[in-house]
Amino acid sequence: MKKKIIFWRTLILVFVLFSNNSYANNGFQQPTNFYITAKQAQIKNIPILVMFSSIYCDYCKFIKKEFLKPMLKSGDYSDKVIIKIVEDDESDEVIDFNRRIIDSGDFSDRYGITFTPTIIFINSKGQEVAERITGLGNVEYYGGFLDDAIDQALIKLNKYVQNVE
């Protein structure tokens, strides 16, 4: 009887863990709603960092774990950038800037993503506003590359806002 109870509890635990998308995506909520994210970015006048990832990509997992999750947890970036993940090899759906539900692979294709990991920095209209980061490169400098690109995007957004006014 005890073995049966342990078996069922274990089975339920495994089911809960692996059916939860946020667990599968290292704590990043899926699917991504870029319509809502764009509104948030517009209000805050900050860029959106989008990491195009693959579930089989070890570099992607490393970047999420060592860079993006700590950035989110620290709270130091909440007024600088909104961070989103798109798993482009999953059958996940993305809500695009026009409120259309599309396949995450199609969303990746819109930005010409051919390699993971690729990180882009976009404004609230979905236009790139900083140089994209492809691959992992030098781990020791990667955090600096992210910070530089975020700063570049913020400068471009602030110039754009100043030019409009």
Instruction: CATH number of the domain at 157, please.
Output: 3.40.30.10
Domain extent, residue 146, equals: 29-164
- Report if residue 81 sits inside a domain: yes
Both structure tokens of 45: 């006048």
pLDDT single digits (tens) 31-65: 579 999 999 999 999 999 999 999 899 999 999 99
pTM attached to this predicted model: 0.79
- Report if residue 115 sits inside a domain: yes
Q: What's the structural domain count of the chain?
A: 1
Selection from 77, 19, 98, 83 nearest residue 49 by Cα: 83
Cα gap 165→143, rounded to integer Å:
33
- Mean pLDDT, each 10-residue run in order, the chain (165 residues): 51 37 48 89 96 93 96 94 87 88 91 95 96 93 96 88 53
pLDDT single digits (tens) 60-77: 999 999 999 999 999 999
CA-atom Rg of the chain in angstroms: 18
- Report if residue 23 sits inside a domain: no
